Amino acid sequence: MSDSSPLPPVRLRSEAELARDALATPLLSRAARLARWTGPDTRVGSGGELVEEQLPAAAEVLGLTGDDAAAYASEAWRTAVDTGLVEIVDEEEGTVAAGAELALLTSGSPNDVLGVWLTALETVLADASVPGLDDLVDALDEGSEIDFSSLDWDPEAEAEFLDGVLGNLYLLTVSEEGPGDGPVPLPALAASMIVPEDMGEPTNDVLEQVSDAMMRLDDQFRLLEPIGLVDFQPVDEALMAGAEEEPAAPADETDVSRYGMVRLTPLGLFGVRERLREAGMTAPAVGDLADKGADALLDGTSGFPPAAAQAETEQWLVRREPLEAARELLAAARGSDAGAPLRRLRCQQALSLVGPEAEPALREVLDDAELGGLARVWLTERGAADVPAPSEAMVFWLTIDTVAAQLAAEGNSTELQGLVEGLAAQHGGFFARVWRVDHPATPDVLEAMGRLHPDKKVAKEARKAAFKARSQHGG
């Protein structure tokens, strides 16, 4: 995933909703309960960990039972210390007290709560990059010291791998062609990190790497679920049964969910976006442009997918009176620079969401060379009376402007090819007249029409017209 190109915009819940989600996560809520439980008799070891003899009492406070109760209590305590919910008063004595951050969870702003949650997230992510307990046990030497060299563990590489996985999961979630709120199969996510894009059939070695990565992710997502980052369905344990174990009942081998499924929660989307932005990536959210000017809206949504562009525009419009919004949009749509056609397309799309109160603004630009065409389209679509017919020059100018905008938005798409074919068939002598259009994009549009039109004769006419237009423009 490139760190230079902007990601598709994400739709986030409000800060208040996200803060409520954060407070309800199992790990943070347990950490807060232990912080409130902390008293003068609470003791910690040299690393800030709760002393072993107090773990049963901590587990009882949390309502935890079973073999893993002490481990869960220890994890919650470590989170409380790392987030400042608990402060160490005296390291030598091992005394602690409730930390200043605890008050933020009850009386702070939603942003304060999310700040504490983000700190907890960093702690969990660091833990998820550490080798599993089984690996650590295997690395114990005769002196009961861990031989880190035998682990083949690179902390930085592990952290980068997990960051890459979360980045890919985020991209899949926010992309319009992705699963959206649906889960992603773990094998697909692992393959996105291992299999080269230009590889056809993966080799056995690559498939083995994908399998190993999938099992690492299974362990890591189990750790990340309690902090509310993901909803996770683990790998079916029957798939990991050893040869000496009793085979499980036959299962549907086509059921991909048996290999693990994961999705980012709404809180997880917020958390990964914050980390991507800290890493220097452009990760917009729908609503970022709502308080900006129309120029920022039209430029900012130029690279958005259609649904996201509409959602951003709707949030921008709801803060403004229709008439003033229309005037601001039309003013921002003017220009002869390379981005102007796409701005006018986004302006036209935005104006389609505005009610009849905007009509005076559209009538004000009927004689404008750049805006008169789209103004007539808007008025005609709404059945307005007394809409003057456009001149031939305006029709051809609007045609070039529209194709230029579609090229900028979609490239050589199937839809654009259909538009090109329709234009050439609809207007007799189209190319003999269109090359004279005084629009900066005329040569490029005609060259594109020559590439896109399937009829060789028509394509040749378009290329000839493009040559004439370029000569006229001094190119």
Asked which of 124-133, 292-301, 339-348 is least confident by mean pLDDT, the reply is 124-133
CB 260 within 8 A of CB 218: yes
Structure tokens at 316: 């921008």
Task: Express as a percent the part of the chain with pLDDT over 70.
Answer: 90
pLDDT of residue 348: 96
pLDDT of residue 147: 55
Structure tokens at 341: 């056609």
pLDDT of residue 143: 52
pLDDT of residue 101: 96
Across 360-381, average pLDDT: 96
**Is the pLDDT score of 243 beyond 50?**
no
pLDDT of residue 138: 52
Measured between alpha carbons, how far is 176 from 227 in angstroms, rounded to an integer?
A: 27
Cα 302 to the center of its chain, rounded Å: 17
Across 333-360, average pLDDT: 95
Element housing 87 (H / E): strand 86-90
CB 12 within 8 A of CB 269: yes
Residues 6+ apart with CB under 8 A from 261: 183, 184, 185, 186, 232, 233
pLDDT of residue 136: 45
Determine how many CB atoms are found less than 10 A away from the CB of residue 287.
Answer: 16
Task: Express as a percent the part of the chain with pLDDT over 90.
Answer: 67
Cα 395 to the center of its chain, rounded Å: 39
Q: Whole-angstrom distance between the N-terminal and C-terminal Cα of the chain?
A: 37
17-51 per-position pLDDT tens digit: 999 999 999 999 999 999 999 999 999 999 999 99
pLDDT band per the 50, 70, 90 thresholds, residue 257: confident
Measured between alpha carbons, how far is 216 from 131 in angstroms, rounded to an integer?
A: 9
3 state SS of 463 = helix
**Is the pLDDT score of 90 beyond 90?**
yes
Across 349-359, average pLDDT: 96
pLDDT band per the 50, 70, 90 thresholds, residue 454: confident
Share the mean pLDDT of the chain.
88
Across 452-463, average pLDDT: 88
The beta-strand segments (E) located in 108-250 are 184-185, 230-233
pLDDT of residue 415: 79
Across 49-75, average pLDDT: 95
143-157 per-position pLDDT tens digit: 555 555 555 667 788
**Is the pLDDT score of 244 beyond 50?**
no
Across 461-470, average pLDDT: 90
Asked which of 87-96, 168-177, 239-248, 292-301 is least confident by mean pLDDT, the reply is 239-248
295-341 per-position pLDDT tens digit: 999 999 988 888 889 999 999 999 999 999 999 999 999 999 999 99
Write the CA distances from 471 to 151, 234, 341, 466, integer angstroms.
68, 64, 22, 9
Query: Does residue 63 come out as left (phi exceeding 0), alpha (psi in the -120 to 50 range) or beta?
Result: left
Query: For 384, phi and psi rounded to 5 degrees?
Result: -70, 150
